[in-house]
Amino acid sequence: MNILFGGDYNPEQWSQEVWNKDMEMFRAASVDTVTLNVFAWGLLQKNEEEYDFSALDETVRRHARAGHHIIMGTSTSTVPAWLSRQHPEVLRSDYRGVRKKFGKRHNFCPNSPVYRRYAGALVQRLAARYKNERAIVYWHIGNEFEGECYCENCEKAFRVWLKEKYGTIEALNAAWNTAFWSHTFYDFDEIVAPSELADGEAGLAFMSAIKLDYARFNSDSQLACYKAERDIIKAEIPDAKCTTNLMGTCRTMDYFRWAKEMDIVSWDCYPGYRAPWSETAMTHDLMRGLKDAPFLLMEQAPSQQNWQAYNTLKQPGEIRAQSYQSIAHGSDAVLFFQMRQSVGGCEKFHSALISHSGRSDTRVFRELSALGAELKMLGDKTVGATTRGQAAIVFDWDSYQALEMSIGPSRDLRYVPEIWRFYDALYRRHIPVDFIPADASADTLAAYPLVLCPVLYMVKGDTAANLTAYVRQGGTLVTGYMSGMADGNDKIYTGGYPGPLREVCGLWLDERDALPPDESRKLSVGGKDDYTCGLLCDLICPTGAEVKARYGSGFYAGTAAVTVNRYGQGQAWYFGTKPDDAAFDRLVDEVVQGSGVQPPVDEPTKLEITCREKDGKRFWFVLNFTTEPQPVPQALSGLPDLLSGKITGENTQLPPYGVLLLEE
């Protein structure tokens, strides 16, 4: 297969005449893939007994005849109105504990047996009906699983989940530290779902352990819905490939757990209108890391979105560059939401390949069809190509949840921006990054000269032992404030922070200052003392670690702020505060130099440079996300550009949003 090009198509809204026109325009744009049937349950099933697949049959036939690949939705993420009326329990109860009425989408309770039964029956029929349809390349289960339900069914299922996890109520009490605030339970039936009625304020966890377990339970519940559909499909079609569209750094679903159940990861990429390009690159890398394999870019907007505060147009050339960025970081598809723009409902202002004007001489249609033709020409050259990171960043959904639910020490501390800051520093140095889970094996860690685990709040299982062994054997580890804080139940490690990471970091600390946004401390690095730092300031007591930066103000002026500990053959860095950009860059330079990482391109350049490998060939993706033309680094001159057919010379300049795909 080539790089899949096309996207969500919802033809149910139009007539035969429009379909025919669409098919012509798809041909003109080199569309080879459509995602169908993502939200059609209400049309496919009229009541308890009556199903009607005739329209879908016709659509599938039409696209199969045209030689399109089909990504087949299961339509189960929005329950129909009739089913909601007949069985209100299929709908969710929100955080306030209020049962929702029919409306919106993603509205099903994941633990409603009635929902599961009806969804299963629909998927059974879809799988049996289309099992011989060779045009179907993937099954797209549900859509963007997320959100929480606090209904009685979920509450009951939560108790079962807890019983399975803890065995006895005593074990649960101990794990949850319930002796505090009179929270002791004597029976599993006393446990309630931590809705607003029970636990208080949105976003804050008064009973942090229960809230954390509820979040895990919720992720597992939705995953169980995914798995149930997948199993039905695979029973009918053993070689079916199943996926669902993930949402990048979505906090509420533990995607490392999800990815284990998916044949291929796919995700929806909708960067905010001011999102730095390195943030999008990071999220692609995270999605690739989930299975350590290429993924599908399932959705992106051709131009304007509709749900941001300000829906800016994509600039000329931007969607092309954005699409190549996704391929550069591991995607084997460039798919869009959607093929034809809706005329009603809440997405009427979301852009599409074919806009309301219905014309093929629009800017967006032209740009997309040029991209489609280019990808067709590329063929399968890069499909399946792998990526080799030199640095690995630990991304841990448990730490993400627990950290952001915690009350204190600072409301400004957010997980993803902390990860991004380190990622961005490596990105600017053209160091390829892989994302790995916190339970990555010792062997996985050993493959990287540099491993970073910023704000690894929760440390459980073998993680501390593996990270310690990794450093002992020569690795360079970077961690820092709010790491090594709690066990798997959000219970703080005693004996000094950072708990089980104390030994490898060669330090301990007792106090952590949290500064308001308008306050900072002076910071001195390498004899230069006009830097600043903020957010958090750990009061570090080194027990062997060398001091790399010291506070220059506050009552702790003169004490350690950033340290490095030589341990065994390796070293462990500890960032006890958030240095300003200049200090941060200086420290990161030292981290990188000491780690033995060799950036593939050593010359300073503002271009994004990424490499994928296949069959002994290297594919260099060179992208210009700045607003000025940029010279192409010497190291890449002389290589042929697969997109223009030209050889890059010493004086090649890449314009803004310019793309080179160099083969080596």
Residue 287 corresponds to which tokens in the numbers above? 């999605």
Beta-bridged to residue 513, according to DSSP, are 537
16-28 helix and 54-65 helix, angle to the nearest 10 degrees: 30
Q: Are 403 and 446 in contact (CB under 8 A)?
A: no
| Distance, first Cα to last Cα, the chain | 22
CA 219 – CA 518 distance, rounded (Å):
37
Catalytic residue among 144, 367, 374, 608: 144
| Residue 204 CB, nearest approach to Zn ion (Å) | 22
| Residue 270 CB, nearest approach to ligand GLA (Å) | 6
Measured from the CB atom, the residue of 109 and 269 that comes closer to Zn ion is: 109
| Residue 108 CB, nearest approach to Zn ion (Å) | 9
Based on the shown chain and the rule CB under 6 A, indicate whether residue 283 belongs to the binding site for ligand GLA.
no
Based on the shown chain and the rule CB under 5 A, indicate whether residue 154 belongs to the binding site for Zn ion.
yes
Based on the shown chain and the rule CB under 6 A, indicate whether residue 350 belongs to the binding site for ligand GLA.
yes
Measured from the CB atom, the residue of 7 and 289 that comes closer to ligand GLA is: 7
Measured from the CB atom, the residue of 229 and 396 that comes closer to Zn ion is: 229
Task: Count CA within 13 A, CB hemisphere, residue 207.
Answer: 27
Q: Is 444 in a helix, a strand, or coil?
A: helix
| Residue 92 CB, nearest approach to Zn ion (Å) | 6
Based on the shown chain and the rule CB under 6 A, indicate whether residue 625 belongs to the binding site for ligand GLA.
no
Which of residues 71, 109, 504, 509 is near Zn ion by CB under 5 A?
A: 109
Q: Are 245 and 336 in contact (CB under 8 A)?
A: no
By beta carbon distance, the residue nearest ligand GLA is 268
Q: Residue 340 — φ and ψ, nearest 5°? A: -130, 135
Pairing of the two strands 630-631 and 653-654: antiparallel
Based on the shown chain and the rule CB under 5 A, indicate whether residue 149 belongs to the binding site for Zn ion.
yes
Binder of residue 154, out of Zn ion, ligand GLA, none (CB less than 5 to 8 A by kind)? Zn ion
Measured from the CB atom, the residue of 144 and 641 that comes closer to ligand GLA is: 144
* Secondary structure, 3-state, 311-341: CCCCCCCHHHHHHHHHHHCCEEEEEEECCEC
Which of residues 22, 229, 254, 268 is near ligand GLA by CB under 6 A?
A: 268
Which of residues 19, 51, 270, 508 is near ligand GLA by CB under 6 A?
A: 270
Q: Are 6 and 34 in contact (CB under 8 A)?
A: yes
Q: For residue 292, count other CB atoms closer than 10 A to its CB.
A: 16
Number of residues that bind Zn ion (CB under 5 A): 6
Measured from the CB atom, the residue of 263 and 347 that comes closer to ligand GLA is: 347
Which of residues 176, 337, 481, 551 is near ligand GLA by CB under 6 A?
A: 337
Residue 382 corresponds to which tokens in the numbers above? 């890069």
Question: Residue for token digits 């931590």?
Answer: 194
| Residue 309 CB, nearest approach to ligand GLA (Å) | 14
| Residue 288 CB, nearest approach to ligand GLA (Å) | 19
| Residue 245 CB, nearest approach to ligand GLA (Å) | 6
- Residues 88-147 within binding reach of ligand GLA (CB under 6 A): 143-144
Residues 6+ away with beta carbon under 8 Å from 417: none
Question: 164 an active-site residue?
Answer: no
- Residues 233-252 within binding reach of ligand GLA (CB under 6 A): 245
Measured from the CB atom, the residue of 107 and 341 that comes closer to Zn ion is: 107
Measured from the CB atom, the residue of 109 and 205 that comes closer to Zn ion is: 109
CA 37 – CA 71 distance, rounded (Å):
9
Residues 6+ away with beta carbon under 8 Å from 43: 12, 52, 55
| Residue 153 CB, nearest approach to Zn ion (Å) | 5
Catalytic residue among 148, 229, 299, 367: 299
- Residues 181-240 within binding reach of ligand GLA (CB under 6 A): none
Pairing of the two strands 266-268 and 245-246: parallel
Q: Are 444 and 470 in contact (CB under 8 A)?
A: no
Which of residues 22, 155, 299, 513 is near ligand GLA by CB under 6 A?
A: 299
Beta-bridged to residue 452, according to DSSP, are 393, 478
Binder of residue 149, out of ligand GLA, Zn ion, none (CB less than 5 to 8 A by kind)? Zn ion
| Residue 114 CB, nearest approach to ligand GLA (Å) | 25
Which helix (DSSP H) or strand (DSSP E) does residue 508 occupy?
strand 507-514
Measured from the CB atom, the residue of 154 and 333 that comes closer to Zn ion is: 154
Q: What angle do CA 623, 663, 325 make, to 5 degrees?
A: 30
Measured from the CB atom, the residue of 48 and 349 that comes closer to ligand GLA is: 349
Based on the shown chain and the rule CB under 5 A, indicate whether residue 157 belongs to the binding site for Zn ion.
no
Based on the shown chain and the rule CB under 6 A, indicate whether residue 399 belongs to the binding site for ligand GLA.
no
Burial degree of 146 (CB within 10 A; 0-12, 13-18, 19+):
middle
CA 573 – CA 562 distance, rounded (Å):
7
Based on the shown chain and the rule CB under 6 A, indicate whether residue 326 belongs to the binding site for ligand GLA.
no
Which helix (DSSP H) or strand (DSSP E) does residue 196 occupy?
helix 196-199
Binder of residue 337, out of Zn ion, ligand GLA, none (CB less than 5 to 8 A by kind)? ligand GLA
Binder of residue 305, out of Zn ion, ligand GLA, none (CB less than 5 to 8 A by kind)? ligand GLA
Q: Are 298 and 397 in contact (CB under 8 A)?
A: no
Q: In what order do the strands lie in the sheet with 33-36?
A: 242-243, 136-140, 69-73, 33-36, 4-8, 331-337, 295-299, 266-268, 245-246
Task: Give the closest residue to 566 by CA, choosing from 503, 508, 497.
Answer: 503
Residues 6+ away with beta carbon under 8 Å from 581: none
| Residue 232 CB, nearest approach to ligand GLA (Å) | 22
Which of residues 305, 382, 520, 577 is near ligand GLA by CB under 6 A?
A: 305
Which of residues 151, 225, 505, 535 is near Zn ion by CB under 5 A?
A: 151
Q: Per CB under 5 A, which region of 15-23, 110-118, 384-392, 521-529 contacts Zn ion? A: 110-118
Measured from the CB atom, the residue of 338 and 595 that comes closer to ligand GLA is: 338
Q: Which residues of the chain form contacts with Zn ion (CB under 5 A)? A: 109, 111, 149, 151, 153-154
Q: Which residues of the chain form contacts with ligand GLA (CB under 6 A)? A: 143-144, 245, 268, 270, 299, 305, 337, 347, 350
* Positions marked active-site: 144, 299
